[in-house]
C-alpha cells in the first residue's frame, strides 16, 4: 500500500495547488464521490483528548481488521458544505453546529471527540487545502465529510483503544437524480430506522447501513427514497433515509419533533428559523401519517438534499400527489436559505463563516 505523505500541519503556512479550479467538468455534478487533494487526520488514545492533527495527501487509510469501527460500528460522521462566491471567497454554513452534534454523538458512542474549535479549524484547513475543488458559483458545493471512528484494535466488545478524526471533501451537485424536481417517497411500514433509547438521534454510521434494505427495495420500484414511521405506533412520521421531513397545511409548517429517534438536522433547524423569521408558523410535533393526505406541500431538508420538494408519497398502496415542483412555501424557504448559504443575500442570521 502506498504511504500517506504528510503535507503540512495546521500551524504551517499552507501553500495551495497552483490552479484556481480543478480541471473537471463542473456542469451536472451529482452526489458521487470524487477524490480531491488533501484530507485531515487527527488521532487520540481512549481516555485522552485530541491534540494536533495534520493535512495529508488524500488516500487510503490503514486500519487493523480488528478496528472498533469495522467490528462494532463505533463510528460517526458529519456532513456540511462550502460554497464559492463570485468574489472568490468561500463560505461555510454553521460548522460549529456539526461540531456540537459530533460531540453529542461521540458521548453516545463512547468516543472522545474534537473540541468545537478543533473541529471548525480542521474543516477550514481541509477546505482551504482543497480550494480548487470548490465548484464555481451556481455549479454546486464542496461537500465536507468529517468522520470519527474507533480505529484501535479490539476483540471483546468494548470501546476501541484509539480514535481517528478524519475529514475528506468532494465536490457535489444535486443529491437526488431528480435534481430539483420533486422526489417520490414510499412509507415503510415494516422496517424501522430507530427505536426509543437507540441511536437514531445521533449520526452514527449504523443508522445509515440500516436503511439500505428498504431504500434498495424502494428504488427498485421506482421511488426516490423511503419515509420511516415511528416503531411504537407505526403511525408518526420520523424521517427519510437521508433527510428530515416537513408538511405544510394552510401555511402552517409541521415537522416531527426531536425526541431521540430522528436526526436533529442542521438544515432542519435552519429552515425552522428561516420560516419563523419570514412570519410563518412552525410546529415541531408528532406528525401522523394521515396528515400527509390533505397536506398542501411536503418537502425534505438535509445538508446533502438542501430543500427537496416531495411530489408524491405512497402509503399502503395509496399514492398522494403534491404537485410537479416546489410549492409556494418550500420555494420561498429554499430560496432564502440557499441565497444565504451562497452569499447572495445578507446573512442576518450570522450563520456563514467566510474563508
Q: Which positions are annotated as active-site residues?
A: 203
How far apart are CB 99 and ligand COI at their closest, in Å? 14
CA gap 49, 81 in Å, rounded = 26
How far apart are CB 3 and ligand COI at their closest, in Å? 30
CA gap 107, 109 in Å, rounded = 6
304 binds ligand COI (CB under 6 A): yes
182 binds ligand COI (CB under 6 A): no
Q: What is the x/- site pattern for ligand COI, positions 42-81, by CB under 6 A? A: -------------------------------------x--
The piece of 67-75, 181-189, 244-252, 297-305 that touches ligand COI (CB under 6 A) is: 297-305
Annotate 287-310 with b (16+ C-beta within 10 A) or e (fewer): bbbebbeebbbbbbbbbbbbbbbb
How far apart are CB 260 and ligand COI at their closest, in Å? 18
Question: No. of H helices and E strands in the chain?
Answer: 7, 18
Minimum CB distance to ligand COI smaller for 145 or for 189:
145
Q: Tell whether the torsion through CA atoms of 244, 301, 242 and 113 is positive or negative.
A: negative
Is residue 349 within 8 Å of 340, Cβ to Cβ? yes
Is residue 31 within 8 Å of 243, Cβ to Cβ? no
Minimum CB distance to ligand COI smaller for 44 or for 237:
237
The piece of 186-194, 248-256, 298-306, 318-326 that touches ligand COI (CB under 6 A) is: 298-306
Is residue 170 within 8 Å of 33, Cβ to Cβ? yes
Write the DSSP symbol of residue 180.
T
Minimum CB distance to ligand COI smaller for 151 or for 207:
207
* Helix 95-108, helix 116-129: angle, nearest 10: 120
208 binds ligand COI (CB under 6 A): yes
Write the DSSP symbol of residue 151.
-
How far apart are CB 232 and ligand COI at their closest, in Å? 24
Bridge-based pairing state of the strands 252-256 and 306-315: unpaired
Pick the binder of ligand COI from 105, 140, 200, 302 (CB under 6 A). Answer: 302
Minimum CB distance to ligand COI smaller for 44 or for 240:
240
308 binds ligand COI (CB under 6 A): no
Is residue 75 within 8 Å of 149, Cβ to Cβ? yes
CA 279 to chain centre: 27
CA gap 243, 265 in Å, rounded = 8
Grid cell of 297 as nine digits: 406541500
How far apart are CB 308 and ligand COI at their closest, in Å? 11
Pick the binder of ligand COI from 130, 199, 303, 352 (CB under 6 A). Answer: 303
Q: How far apart are the first and last CA of the chain?
A: 34
341 binds ligand COI (CB under 6 A): no
The piece of 114-122, 296-304, 318-326, 344-352 that touches ligand COI (CB under 6 A) is: 296-304
The piece of 273-281, 299-307, 322-330, 339-347 that touches ligand COI (CB under 6 A) is: 299-307
CA gap 51, 327 in Å, rounded = 48
Minimum CB distance to ligand COI smaller for 303 or for 312:
303
The piece of 225-233, 268-276, 301-309, 318-326 that touches ligand COI (CB under 6 A) is: 301-309
215 binds ligand COI (CB under 6 A): no
CA gap 291, 295 in Å, rounded = 6
How far apart are CB 71 and ligand COI at their closest, in Å? 22
- Total chain residues near ligand COI (CB under 6 A): 6
The contact set with ligand COI (CB under 6 A) reads 79, 208, 242, 302-304
Amino acid at each position: 500500500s502506498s504511504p500517506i505523505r504528510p503535507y503540512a500541519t495546521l500551524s504551517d503556512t499552507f501553500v495551495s495547488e497552483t490552479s484556481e479550479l480543478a480541471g473537471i467538468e463542473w456542469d451536472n455534478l451529482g452526489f458521487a464521490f470524487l477524490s480531491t487533494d488533501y484530507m485531515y487526520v487527527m488521532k487520540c488514545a481512549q481516555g485522552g483528548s485530541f491534540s494536533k492533527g495534520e493535512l495529508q495527501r488524500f488516500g487510503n487509510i490503514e486500519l487493523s481488521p480488528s478496528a472498533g469501527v469495522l467490528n462494532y460500528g463505533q463510528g460517526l460522521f458529519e456532513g456540511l458544505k462550502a460554497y464559492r462566491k463570485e468574489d472568490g471567497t468561500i463560505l461555510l454554513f454553521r460548522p460549529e453546529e456539526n461540531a456540537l452534534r459530533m460531540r453529542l454523538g461521540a458521548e453516545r458512542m463512547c468516543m472522545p471527540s474534537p473540541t468545537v474549535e478543533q473541529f471548525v479549524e480542521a474543516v477550514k484547513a481541509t477546505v482551504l487545502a482543497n480550494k480548487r475543488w470548490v465548484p464555481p458559483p451556481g455549479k454546486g458545493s464542496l461537500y465536507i465529510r468529517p468522520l470519527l471512528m474507533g480505529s484501535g484494535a479490539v476483540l471483546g466488545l468494548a470501546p476501541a483503544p484509539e480514535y481517528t478524526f478524519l475529514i475528506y471533501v468532494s465536490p457535489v451537485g444535486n443529491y437526488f437524480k431528480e435534481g430539483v424536481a420533486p422526489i417520490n417517497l414510499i412509507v415503510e411500514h415494516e422496517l424501522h430506522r430507530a427505536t426509543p433509547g437507540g441511536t437514531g438521534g445521533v449520526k452514527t454510521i449504523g443508522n445509515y447501513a440500516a436503511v439500505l434494505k428498504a431504500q434498495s427495495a424502494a428504488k427498485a420500484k421506482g421511488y426516490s427514497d423511503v419515509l420511516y414511521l415511528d416503531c411504537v405506533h407505526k403511525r408518526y412520521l420520523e424521517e427519510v433515509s437521508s433527510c428530515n421531513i416537513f408538511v405544510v397545511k394552510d401555511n402552517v409548517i409541521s415537522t416531527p419533533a426531536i425526541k431521540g429517534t430522528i436526526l436533529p438536522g442542521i438544515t432542519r433547524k435552519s429552515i425552522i428559523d428561516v420560516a419563523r423569521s419570514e412570519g410563518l408558523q412552525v410546529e415541531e410535533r408528532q406528525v401522523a401519517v394521515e396528515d400527509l393526505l390533505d397536506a398542501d406541500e411536503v418537502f425534505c431538508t438535509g445538508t446533502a438534499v438542501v430543500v427537496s420538494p416531495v411530489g408524491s408519497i405512497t402509503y399502503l398502496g395509496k399514492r398522494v400527489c403534491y404537485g410537479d415542483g416546489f410549492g409556494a412555501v418550500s420555494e420561498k424557504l429554499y430560496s432564502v436559505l440557499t441565497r444565504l448559504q451562497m452569499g447572495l443575500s445578507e446573512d442576518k442570521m450570522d450563520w456563514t463563516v467566510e474563508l
